[in-house]
């Protein structure tokens, strides 16, 4: 097949260096990649859809075969509509595996033509998550090596970090 499209779905609240690492890796494997932001997640996000989209677009702007989009409803329905062949998900630690396996097998049950591809981020990002980034920032810790500069700036605008407690 000539043009293989993959979808990298997520909440990206906000995008971290770990996410970006996976986007870069995927962009080297697949002909095209859509980073797809879920807009109707149950959890209350820190950043609005527009803010998360803007950060994703800024961070991926130099990757020519990567586009950013939103989706709601079932991921498999969106992937079929886009004619994607694969879903990309990251596995950082063993603890991610159970949830990711369940989701991958359920997605396969719903749409057997789609494959889920698991990628591992660089070791240096194995412990990075959006949730921890927000928590660290709120308590005055440095997130410089964990998120792109544009995200750090947005966090600064959104959250008033507490001074470092000693
Ligand atoms: O970044 P996240 O929050 O780990 O991403 C989770 C996401 C968006 C991939 C997942 O919640 C999802 O695909 N939601 C869409 C609804 C859906 O298809 N649910 C069934 C999954 S088996």
State in Å: Cα 138 to ligand 1 middle.
Answer: 26
Q: Is 19 a catalytic residue?
A: yes
Provide the whole-model pTM.
0.95
Band of pLDDT at residue 42, cut at 50, 70 and 90: confident
Of the residues 43, 83, 109, 164, which is catalytic?
A: 43
Whole-number mean pLDDT of the chain?
95
Distance CA 144, CA 83 (A): 37
| Residue 100 near residue 118, CB atoms below 8 Å | yes
**Which ligand 1 atom is nearest residue 103's CA?**
22
The pLDDT value recorded for residue 94 is 85
Digit-coded pLDDT (tens) for 6-26? 999 999 999 999 999 999 999
Phi, psi (5° rounding) for residue 32? -140, 150
**Which of 74, 75, 78, 95 for mutating ligand 1's site (highest number of atoms within 8 Å of CB)?**
75
Band of pLDDT at residue 100, cut at 50, 70 and 90: very high
**CA-atom Rg of the chain in angstroms:** 16
The pLDDT value recorded for residue 61 is 98
State in Å: Cα 140 to ligand 1 middle.
Answer: 30
36, pLDDT greater than 90: yes
CA atoms within 13 A on the CB side of 108: 9
Protein residue with least CA distance to atom 4, ligand 1: 10
Protein residue with least CA distance to atom 8, ligand 1: 10
**Which ligand 1 atom is nearest residue 38's CA?**
8
Pocket of ligand 1 (CB under 6 A): 9-11, 38, 74-75, 103, 106-107
Contacts of 16 (CB under 8 A, 6+ apart): 125, 128, 129, 130, 133, 146, 147, 151
């Amino acid at each position: 097949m000539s043009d293989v499209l993959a979808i990298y779905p997520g909440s990206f609240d906000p995008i971290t260096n770990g996410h970006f690492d996976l986007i870069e890796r995927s962009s080297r494997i697949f002909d095209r990649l859509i980073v797809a932001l879920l807009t109707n997640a149950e959890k209350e996000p820190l950043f609005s859809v527009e803010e998360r989209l803007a950060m994703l677009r800024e961070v991926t702007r130099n990757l020519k075969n990567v586009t950013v989009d939103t989706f709601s409803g079932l991921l498999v329905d969106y992937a079929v509509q886009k004619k994607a062949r694969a879903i990309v998900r990251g596995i950082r630690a063993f603890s991610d595996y159970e949830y990711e396996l369940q989701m991958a097998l359920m997605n396969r049950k719903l749409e057997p033509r789609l494959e889920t591809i698991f990628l591992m981020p660089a070791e240096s990002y194995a412990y990075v998550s959006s949730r921890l980034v927000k928590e660290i920032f709120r308590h005055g810790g440095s997130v410089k090596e964990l998120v792109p500069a544009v995200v750090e700036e947005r966090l600064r605008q959104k959250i008033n970090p507490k001074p470092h407690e000693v």
